[in-house]
Amino acid sequence: MKLKPVALALALSGISLHAVAANDEHTYANLDEVVSTHLYLDLDVDFDDKQLEGFVEHTLDWQDANARTLVLDTRDLEIDRVIYQGKSGKWREAKFDLAPRDDVKGAKLTIKFNQQAPKVRIYYNSLPQASGLQWLTPEQTASKTQPFMYSQSQAIHARSWIPVQDTPAMRVTYNARIETPKNVRAVMSADNTGAFIKDGDYFFDMPQAIPPYLIAIGAGNLEYKEMSHQTAIFAEPQILDASVAEFNDTQAMIDKTNAMYGEYAWGRYDLLMLPPSFPFGGMENPRLSFITPTVVAGDKSLVNLIAHELAHSWSGNLVTNATWEDLWLNEGFTSYVENRIMEEVFGRDRAVMEQSLDAAGLRAQLKTIDAPDTRLNLKLNGRDPDDAFSSVPYTKGQLFLIYLEEKYGRDVFDEFVKGYFKEYSFKSLTTAQFVTYLQANLIDKHPGVVSMDKVNEWIFEPGLPADAPNPTSDAFEKVDTLTATWLKGDITAAELPTANWTVHEWLHFINNLPRDLGNDKMVELDTQFNLTASTNKEVAFAWFMLGVGNGYDAIYPALDKHLTGIGRRKLIVPLYKSLITNGKRDWAYEVYQGARAGYHPLAQGTIDALFN
């Protein structure tokens, strides 16, 4: 088989095609010596002890003829024993050492062999505090009948439930056997046909190589309903039908993206609706995106989140950042593709409104972030990748790609993006590799349009370039005019023509109101539009942020329910920050003490730090 240039270079360098040479400071893995190419997981889901127990078997591809050591990442795992398969096929005990726990990277697991083993098996169990797992009691679920467990492996949390080379610089296929109580259904980021029959014994296969952060598992009182020949939803019965109605445009999204960027490579695209405690909007686990119920608004107003997770099937899952300092390669491209999907399915006006909202949010956040962290190619300097999470890789990355599209024209830029996805499909790459590809395949092919100095400014310099796109919406301009008229007192809230406003117009209106609006104006808006009781979680969040900043006490009973009822970090962390800043620390802390047990460990860690 003839290798493509990138694959040929990797082969000649001695690096497995399952891994790319990258300086990932967040892993202990010795990829230059040995690469794990396939995993077999055999795990029991123990809800009583809140642990996964069993073994993982690694198939090994040795890169160095003299190497006899495998180094894996772990965090809060108990290692029982390690055995390896000799060349004769017999299994033998292996010596291993589990180093002390590092606060960020976890504990280094070193396994030593007498010979280069083709396979190694680690028997282990996770602990209840595993950062990548959340265990919910039946009372914390929608159905109230069965417990629920789910994983969140990004960025470096796969190591908290699997001993693994936990870096996006490598890719691995996997099979799994998962045992649960008989009335609990398990699902994974894999072929889920083995989960259609609920019997407590489930088999999964992921034939495409993925980075470890995309290995995912969920288990609970899950039912299944198809939306199309290629899409379905797993959810608790109470939210299943509403989710199907909300997201039944998913097939149209797939079809439009296929036409723009090449065929969807993963077979099925299903959704798992998680409990409200899920700390993110969604997680792009291949074949089975994990989704927060906070986007089930009843009017499809928040389905851009589905477009985002689907877009990851090309940017992120198919073409992956090699380190977490290159996260913008995943999220910037995904945000760009997401918006293109929304334009194709829902029209240009909606797509531009979403661009404008995101750009306004980015510009506001840039004022609160240290300048070095506003670069696309981030320097983490040993920090946990979760600590540097912001809208920069998402929206600044998206604006960079919009900038290139505007400069070269959509037809030229679409061909570049499509070629990029094809060239690096099922590979990981660094920012430096992307810049080389960009120069060769866009900048040099069309000289005199964009300079490499401008490219470097976007990627390596802080903030936004002076000529960065600033998306504006005609609809928002009309909202701004009406807002100014109302603020001057020339019209009442009842005279605002809001009957046909979209959620995006409402968000723009609320987000741009003064933080010193005054109680009378807040009461007028709330009386007219009942915003404190909004069932749209995004609108409610925007209103609560405005209310906290304006000292509007009427929001607090509903705000208590909001903070207690959901765990999505985007919709709770800024509220806790604002409450602390605006003199409501004691109230916020009391609410948090009641809500904390229902939050995911990632959310707990973030909010603990706020109060500490």
Query: How many Å separate Cα 113 from the centre of its chain?
Result: 37
Q: Would you tell me which CATH number, out of the four given (3.40.50.300, 3.40.50.1000, 1.10.390.10, 3.40.50.2300), belongs to the domain 319-460?
A: 1.10.390.10
Which residues is 45 bridged to in the sheet? 52
For residue range 474-495, what is the model confidence (pLDDT) as tens digits?
999 999 999 999 999 999 999 9
Condensed to tens digits (0 to 9), the pLDDT of residues 418-466 reads: 999 999 999 999 999 999 999 999 999 999 999 999 999 999 999 999 9
Answer yes or no: is pLDDT of 198 > 60. yes
Among 306, 327, 305, 303, smallest CA distance to 315 is for 327
The residue annotated as part of the active site, out of 33, 246, 309, 331, is 309
Is 309 annotated in the active site?
yes
Query: What percentage of the chain reaches a pLDDT higher than 70?
Result: 97
What's the confidence (pLDDT) of residue 17? Answer: 55
Interior angle at CA 345, CA 344 and CA 347, nearest 5 = 70
Over residues 172-180, mean pLDDT: 98
CATH class of 474-611: mainly alpha
Q: Which residues of 420-444 are buried (b: 16+ CB within 10 A; e: fewer)?
A: bbeebeebbbbbebbbebbeeebbe
Output the pLDDT for position 169: 96
Q: Give the whole-number percent of the chain exceeding pLDDT 90.
A: 90
Check residue 4 and give its pLDDT: 36
Dist. CA 269–CA 190, nearest whole Å:
10
**Contact between residue 135 and residue 218 where contact means Cβ atoms under 8 Å apart:** no
The better pLDDT of the pair 520, 194 is held by 520
Structure-token pair, residue 37: 């190419």
Rg from Cα positions in the chain: 25
User: What pLDDT is stored for residue 324 in this prediction?
Assistant: 97
pLDDT tens profile 123-154: 999 999 999 999 999 988 888 899 999 999 99
Is the pLDDT reported for residue 3 higher than 60?
no
| Sequence-separated contacts (24+) of 411-418 with Cβ below 8 Å | 412/442, 412/446, 413/442, 414/260, 414/261, 416/441, 416/442, 417/261, 417/333, 417/337, 418/260, 418/261, 418/262
What's the pLDDT score for residue 35?
A: 97
Quick one: average pLDDT of 213-229? Answer: 97
For the chain, the structural domain boundaries read: 319-460, 474-611
The pLDDT assigned to 14 comes to 36
| Tens-place pLDDT, residues 6-51 | 333 333 333 455 777 778 999 999 999 999 999 999 999 999 999 9
Q: Which position among 124, 213, 394, 599 bears the catalytic label?
A: 394
pLDDT at 12: 33
Active site residue 261: no
Position 180: which residue type? T
Q: What is the pLDDT of residues 294-321, one digit of tens each?
A: 999 999 999 999 999 999 999 999 999 9
Four-point Cα dihedral 581, 585, 588, 594, nearest 10: 150
Q: pLDDT class for 601, splitting at 50, 70, 90?
A: confident
- At residue 81, the pLDDT reads 98
> Is the Cβ–Cβ distance between 402 and 351 less than 8 Å?
no
pLDDT exceeds 90 at position 110 = yes
Contact predicate 107/121, CB 8 Å = no
Which of 107-111, 143-147, 532-536 has the least mean pLDDT? 143-147
Q: What are phi and psi of 550, to 5 degrees?
A: -100, 5
Range in 13-22, 160-169, 225-234 with the lowest mean pLDDT: 13-22
Distance between first and last Cα of the chain: 57
pLDDT digits (tens, 9 = 90+) for 359-417: 999 999 999 999 999 999 999 999 999 887 899 999 999 999 999 999 999 999 999 99
